[in-house]
Amino acid sequence: MKPFENIKAVYLIGIGGIGMSALARFFRLIGKETAGYDRLPSPITDDLALIGIKIHFDDDINLIPSSILSAAKNEIAVIYTPAVPVSHSELNFFKNQGYILLKRAEALGYICSEYQTIAIAGTHGKTTVSGMTAHILNQSEKGTNAFLGGIAKNFNSNLLVNKNAEICVAEADEFDRSFLQLFPQTAVVTSTDADHLDIYTDLNDIKSTFSKFISQIKPEGTLIIKKGIVLDEKNFPSKNFRYSVESQADFYAQNIETDAHKSRFDFVYPEGKIQNITLGVSGRVNIENAVASASVGIIHGIEPDKIKEALETFSGVRRRFDYIFKSEKQVYIDDYAHHPEELRAFISSVREMYPGKRILGIFQPHLFSRTRDFATKFAESLDLLDALILSEIYPAREEPITGVTSDIIFSQCLLKDKHLCQSSEIIDLLKNLKFDVVLTMGAGDIEKFRNPIKQIMEK
């Protein structure tokens, strides 16, 4: 029996999350009655409502639609995100009444079990690699389904459904060890940096969990892992490959050119080379992502000319190296970077593209625990800027931690031109600062400043 075949209705608690919303779209597309709860409305919940999904924003069991509860208990699947607190009344209602309860990762795992799954894992880089990989396959005769952790601009969605495809690209999230629900045919590992130390004990715990994920690759499957990552190779499948943007590997880039106008490179693979790829998105960090994605394409038998065409027409993922404004004098780029290594890679790529330009970064730290754990490394990455505006911490799922504020990053920054402020003060402060390039960075609600900043620059 196919997963969810006998399920008539699906209720999602935390439906506005990027991974949860992809599931909601999927279930709606395959004809299931679909509804959900989220804490706050957002553009994502607005889009879900447009396709007929009922959503409410108060934790109240009386607001659960009758169309959900009218089905028998064994015909309803309740899916929840691990970010939902254990005290959530709707979650506890379904739990106490004996409904089928699944974490988001479990539901995704059941769906992916029906396909040849390509799982893209890594503490950073996985969303863009997932989007690129899905675009390469979607442009080929194979086609694909895809569950992404961001809105891919080529299909204006975090979900791609192709009923005739035998492949599914899945972003494999390490948070809450979610990716251990996947048993892929092909896996990509982009990075294994320390993160989510509210979940993992330390870096060794993270690495051992990635090793466990790799051990779940199908026996005849393939691992593609970034050169330099050190994991227990006894868990590697017999078919394993290294990729790199900096040095020779099984798959790598050479003849790299990256500036304000283009990112161009040759892609070298074991049997040949794809020359003169002009990538559809900017920056050295995206060349690295493209090498990983093209490697998957080669492994899955996609013609080299199709890979080149797809990389050149890839439009990017929303909030990943996302150009919001560009003129002859000024540039504004928005990025989801919220980990010190992501910040370093993003700012370094921008610096390479705009040498000699004054770069101002606006950063909103995400989570008290991540700020506490990586304050020094955040400061080191932000020191790559010419000027910094640092806002208060976006708490997301966390309660405040005593003594943890943005100041523990700010006080360690060596930059002379640095400003600590509340988010409500960002726009007025920006108006009085000089810059050629402005960057907004963070995983919270920093994106709400995209239009106000764009308006300033247009004037």
Residue 1 binned pLDDT confidence (cut-offs 50, 70, 90): very low
DSSP letter (8 states) at residue 321: S
Render pLDDT for 279-311 as a digit per residue (tens, 0 to 9): 999 999 999 999 999 999 999 999 999 999 999
Per-residue pLDDT for 340 more than 80? yes
pLDDT mean over 79-106? 95
Q: What is the pLDDT of residue 278?
A: 97
Quote the mean pLDDT of the chain: 96
Which is it for the CA torsion 265, 359, 337, 123, positive or negative? Answer: positive
Per-residue pLDDT for 2 more than 80? no
Q: What is the pLDDT of residue 198?
A: 85
pLDDT mean over 19-37? 97
User: Model pTM?
Assistant: 0.94
Render pLDDT for 219-268 as a digit per residue (tens, 0 to 9): 999 999 999 999 999 999 999 999 999 899 999 999 999 988 889 999 99
Residue 316 neighbours by CB under 8 Å, 6+ apart: 128, 131, 152, 153, 280, 281, 322
Render pLDDT for 109-123 as a digit per residue (tens, 0 to 9): 999 999 999 999 999
Q: 41 to each of 17, 47, 166, 391, how far by Cα in Å? A: 11, 10, 35, 23
Per-residue pLDDT for 439 more than 60? yes
Give the SS3 label for residue 376.
helix
What is the CB neighbour count within 10 angstroms for residue 353? 20
Per-residue pLDDT for 332 more than 80? yes
Per-residue pLDDT for 207 more than 50? yes
pLDDT mean over 41-57? 96
pLDDT mean over 49-66? 97
pLDDT mean over 63-80? 94
Q: What is the pLDDT of residue 459?
A: 84
User: Measuring CA to CA, which residue among 302, 287, 333 is closest to residue 457?
Assistant: 333
Q: What is the pLDDT of residue 261?
A: 84
What radius of gyration do the chain's Cα atoms show?
Answer: 22
Domains of the chain with CATH codes: 9-102 (3.40.50.720), 113-313 (3.40.1190.10), 322-458 (3.90.190.20)
What percentage of the chain reaches a pLDDT higher than 70? 100
Q: For the chain, what is the total number of helices (H) and then of strands (E)?
A: 14, 21
Which residues are paired to 268 by β-bridges? 252, 273
Residue 329 binned pLDDT confidence (cut-offs 50, 70, 90): very high
Per-residue pLDDT for 3 more than 80? no
Burial group, residue 368, by CB count within 10 angstroms (0-12, 13-18, 19+) = buried
- Structural contact between residues 239 and 222, judged by C-beta atoms closer than 8 angstroms: yes
Report phi then psi at 296, rounded to 5. -60, -45
